[in-house]
Structure 1
Amino acid sequence: MGTFEMNRRKFVAGSAVAALAAMGLASCAPSGNAESAQDEAPSAPAVELDPNAEEVDVVVVGAGISGLAACVQAAENGNSVIVLEKGGAAGGNGVGTEGIFAVNSSFQQEQGIQINPSDIVHTELSESQWRSSGALWLDLVSKSADNVAWLQEKGVGFSGVVDNYHVGLFNTMHWWKDNVGAVGYVPPMQAAAEGYGVEFRFNSPAKQLVMADGAIAGVVVEGPEGEYQIKAKAVILASGGIGANPEYLKETGWTQEKVDEMMVVCSPSVEGDGYRMAREVGVKSFLANAAIQSFQGVRAFGNDDTVPYNSPLNGGNGLVALGGALWVDQDAHRFCDESIAMVFNMAANATACLGNKENYAIFDQAYIDALGLDDHDQEILDAAVAGSDPESVFSAGSVAELADHFGLDADVLQATVDRYNELVAAGADTDLGKDAAFLAPIAKAPFYIAKIVNNIVVVDGGITTNIRAEALDEDMNPIPGLYAVGLDGAMLWRNVYTQNMPGTAVGNNVNSGRNAANAARDYIAGL
């Protein structure tokens, strides 16, 4: 095979991370003072309800994609609503989203895009090895077109483009106006909520749930001027998950070392507040089965911070996940088709590395040359090779030197490289099945080795919920008046965020937010 040729258009597949970087949320460090996670549910002293506290029907904790959907639907239903937002503005992780999933929307109908709903559901269940719920998937698919129409009614802006997000199996991605939630979704939804009389309280994190007779009775708030309570008949947790909490991340399967070295792309406020509060009142944890949206990166390269955020060095998945490098584990063995992020699922590559103690990318100068780095990226690479972070990137004149630097078995690594080059020469990866378009020899010195680290975006799920977004206890029974939506309560995925139906994370955020609000309406009506 000839020199590996990179199609720059494919770099756009990493734009989920890039969009977050564009909104100033990239590379936020996990909070060092986050609540510690334990195998057992955290406990907190019971709080007596303040009889003089202000009262509202519904409190929504978090003003991201799902929180905004929940508060607008709840207010539209006629319930009084207060939204508690830890940050200083609405949006959270949602500002960097790019669009939403739908099947048989008006946009798709106008463009002649026809999708059989059962194809979506069956494919998702198959890819999850039937561990996910078909009822949940059918609920999302069946309501998705109406969700888009509802958002349009609320003023949400769409670009009109519907596609497969470059790597998906179906054309289900409906792009926001200007391709970013900070423009198309967040401002109009906040305006719609305020038009219904919803009150937003910023810099006001919820601190603890208040229970009475086994049901939700209110919430403790840490406001700018001190602590207070709000009486509430229902609380909807929409705090954005646990992505910036290093202790909770370990509960998803990461080792301490992996957590310590990872790069984090998220809203810094997503420290698992909703998860912690829910666990304190007896909710069953879902973290061991939560789906991790995590891409791959190289610490020495950082994240792309230049428009349009599609650098072949560190944009989206970056250099190591563009398909042409060789991946090896701690034993210097090849373990995966390295092109899966480009041809199957952007987020699957990080999951493929989860079971290894260490992961490394091996490549040569020809691979670097084919990327066509601009001056800015070349400076980053040169600094890394010169030793800016020797535990991240190293370059040498031989494969043996690469192995010695990271303590790998030099003979095994050489054999792995030799075998890989044999496959390249034969024009077919008969070992792991990588498409020949991504095969190129590792032959031109200098040679490079980069330690692969996880570039985590969000974690889907944490609080066990049902189809009505009700939070469930250890016996899988609803806790009256408590709901969890979006990333706090996602149940569509088990361990792997499939991403082959583009836009489903946002689709679930909106759908679960509306489901929770409607379930809360019915619950409140029966009190």
Structure 2
Amino acid sequence: MTQVKMNRRAFLAGSAMAAVSAVGLASCAPSAKSAKTKEASAEVQRVSLDPQAESVDVVVVGAGISGLAACVQASENGQSVIVLEKGGAAGGNGMGTEGIFAVGSTLQKEQGIEISASEIVHTELSESQWRSSGSLWYDLVSKSADNFAWLQKQGMQFSGVVDNYHVGLYNTMHWWKDNAGAVGYVPPMQAAAEANGVEFRFNSPATQLIEEDGKIVGVVVDGKDGEYQIQAKAIILASGGIGANPEYLKETGWTQEKVDEMMIVCSPNVAGDGYRMASEMGAKSFLSDAAIQSFQGVTAFGNDETVPYNSPLNGGNGLVALGPALWVDQDANRFCDESIAVVYNMAANACACLGNKENYAIFDQAFVNGLGLDEHDQAILDKATAGEYPESVFSANSIEELGSHFGLDTAQLAQTVARYNELASAGFDADLGKDASFLAPIQTPPFYIAKIVNNIVVVDGGITTNIRCEALDEELNPIPGLYAVGLDGAMLWRNVYTQNMPGTAVGNQVNTGRNAANAARDYIASL
């Protein structure tokens, strides 16, 4: 059995979640107060604007990566800005980010890194089967060097390292100081905003938009001292998407069963508030096309919470996604190159399981021995296989027993494992093409089966938007005064977050935040 080693990429997957965990946001359960579905939203009683309500040019809903970029840009544009943040501090899921995308930055030039913008755009479009918009990709790429310079001007702190994140096609990743947005981005960006006169109101969720004569003119706030209104000429939604909302997750394609059993790695505040409020105003949903960033997980193993967060049992993707384990579906058939989480796309590998009713990982004692688990993780595994979580993990001395435990076709499972062992012995995956370095026969008892569940991080997209980040109605016309940025309005990816160009998620958040602020400036000037 080949010793399985955690590469840097697998470590990064764990450290990204660890950074979120460090601020008390990891492994959160879905909010018990799930937002209303679109059907229910249609029944929401519209609110009239209180003419005595305080007035401001721009309200930004959310103080994560995109919200901070939006409020700083809007304040630079001369607008008065209030930021409404549901949580008690700025940052949100952005605390766990590691860096930002750029092409043509000063750091790249200093290091002799030359990349053609057309290569980036054409590659992304071709790999997405031309379903994504080239205009949006070109907008991001062409503005990325200026965005980087703008961040430096605001006081953002970078480590100086520029690379391909050990997985991407190009050296576009510019790492934050200490490789964490919690250090390099959030504190200096909040300071820059406050220096420009931006007012932050924490523990103050926006609950409803106010519309008059077809325009968005204000927002209702659930404040510390009760409900109140703010008049605004423009509202920028930057609430972080729908990742912790079980009702909206179903609209992305998950079944109810998968939603019920999934583990969630995100801020509990990411409950689709922006999506719900925009839907109430008639915004077109993008959820059926949204890109899901989700790892595989095993309920019984949980998430690694021990520094340095790279346990081969449950760090990052965990043992089921390290490569050698065999994946089977509800019919006991193999369906995927099981190494994709390590060598291709750790942020979207769970999407390979999306079309299956059930997903399982099969492995043996030789694989477990090769992991070199410490006492803590070995205790977790022992507890799981001792019957503590029979619906999640099971161990037996025969493959047939594994299948029988989860109601799989035992004969088919035995055949699938036998075929996999043939491929491993030959050192060539003639069926699905997995690299030989990840092929290892499953032949040393006891044997294990673990039910794979989704360990969801974020969902890219919810509200349909255009290049100016204007929220669009069902006819793809802008809703005056309403903008959606970051994960609320991400449109670069459709269904799959490719991660070919490292840092593009954060790059998109900063770029859309600035785009929305500038579009709002022009809109306000036209009033």
TM-score class, shorter-chain normalisation, is: over 0.9
- Give CA deviations for 1:312-367 in whole Å, capped at 9, x if unaligned: 11011111111110000000000000011111111232000000000000000111
Aligned mates of 1:73, 1:390 — CA distance in 2: 52
Matched, 1:348 2:348: yes
TM score, norm. by length of structure 1:
0.98
Aligned mates of 2:66, 2:9 — CA distance in 1: 29
Matched, 1:9 2:8: yes
Between 294-303 and 341-350, report the one with greater CA deviation: 341-350
- Give CA deviations for 1:492-526 in whole Å, capped at 9, x if unaligned: 00011111111111110000000000000000011
- Give CA deviations for 1:388-432 in whole Å, capped at 9, x if unaligned: 211101111010010010000110000000000100111100100
C-alpha displacement at 1:23, in angstroms? 3.1
1:228 alignment partner in structure 2:
228
C-alpha displacement at 1:13, in angstroms? 4.0
Alignment of structure 1 residues 135-146 onto 2, 5 Å: 135-146=135-146
- Give CA deviations for 1:211-234 in whole Å, capped at 9, x if unaligned: 111001111111010011110000
2:508 alignment partner in structure 1:
508
Matched, 1:257 2:260: no
The residue identity in structure 1 corresponding to 2:2 is: T
Aligned mates of 1:158, 1:388 — CA distance in 2: 45
Q: Give 5+ residue unaligned stretches, structure 2.
A: none
Query: What SS is found at the alignment partner of 1:131?
Result: coil
2:394 alignment partner in structure 1:
394
**C-alpha spacing 1:322/1:42, structure 2 compared with 1 (3 Å):** farther
Q: Give 5+ residue unaligned stretches, structure 1.
A: none
Aligned mates of 1:96, 1:190 — CA distance in 2: 16
Identical residues among aligned pairs (%): 78
Check whether the contact 1:400–1:410 (CA below 8 A) recurs between aligned residues.
yes
The residue identity in structure 2 corresponding to 1:52 is: Q
Matched, 1:199 2:199: yes
1:273 alignment partner in structure 2:
273
1:149 alignment partner in structure 2:
149
2:47 alignment partner in structure 1:
47
2:474 alignment partner in structure 1:
474
Check whether the contact 2:402–2:448 (CA below 8 A) recurs between aligned residues.
yes
1:369 alignment partner in structure 2:
369
2:300 alignment partner in structure 1:
300
2:209 alignment partner in structure 1:
209
Aligned mates of 1:315, 1:271 — CA distance in 2: 25
2:245 alignment partner in structure 1:
245
1:415 alignment partner in structure 2:
415
C-alpha displacement at 1:16, in angstroms? 2.8
Check whether the contact 2:238–2:274 (CA below 8 A) recurs between aligned residues.
yes
**C-alpha spacing 1:448/1:275, structure 2 compared with 1 (3 Å):** same
C-alpha displacement at 1:34, in angstroms? 1.0
Matched, 1:117 2:148: no
1:26 alignment partner in structure 2:
26
2:108 alignment partner in structure 1:
108
TM score, norm. by length of structure 2:
0.98
Query: What SS is found at the alignment partner of 1:50?
Result: coil
Check whether the contact 1:298–1:451 (CA below 8 A) recurs between aligned residues.
yes
1:450 alignment partner in structure 2:
450
**C-alpha spacing 1:438/1:199, structure 2 compared with 1 (3 Å):** same
The residue identity in structure 1 corresponding to 2:5 is: M
Count of residues in Structure 1 that have an aligned counterpart in Structure 2: 526
1:322 alignment partner in structure 2:
322
Aligned mates of 1:156, 1:463 — CA distance in 2: 29
Aligned mates of 1:218, 1:10 — CA distance in 2: 44
2:404 alignment partner in structure 1:
404
Check whether the contact 2:38–2:276 (CA below 8 A) recurs between aligned residues.
no
C-alpha displacement at 1:116, in angstroms? 1.2
**C-alpha spacing 1:175/1:392, structure 2 compared with 1 (3 Å):** same
Check whether the contact 2:8–2:166 (CA below 8 A) recurs between aligned residues.
no
Aligned mates of 1:499, 1:387 — CA distance in 2: 38
Query: What SS is found at the alignment partner of 1:95?
Result: helix
Aligned mates of 1:401, 1:8 — CA distance in 2: 33
Check whether the contact 2:37–2:248 (CA below 8 A) recurs between aligned residues.
yes
Aligned mates of 1:116, 1:12 — CA distance in 2: 30
- Give CA deviations for 1:146-175 in whole Å, capped at 9, x if unaligned: 111101110111111111112111111111
Aligned mates of 1:263, 1:371 — CA distance in 2: 23
The residue identity in structure 2 corresponding to 1:521 is: R
Check whether the contact 2:297–2:317 (CA below 8 A) recurs between aligned residues.
yes
Check whether the contact 1:98–1:180 (CA below 8 A) recurs between aligned residues.
yes
Query: What SS is found at the alignment partner of 1:434?
Result: coil
The residue identity in structure 2 corresponding to 1:136 is: L
Alignment of structure 1 residues 161-172 onto 2, 5 Å: 161-172=161-172
Aligned mates of 2:465, 2:515 — CA distance in 1: 12
Aligned mates of 1:263, 1:208 — CA distance in 2: 29
CA-based RMSD: 1.1
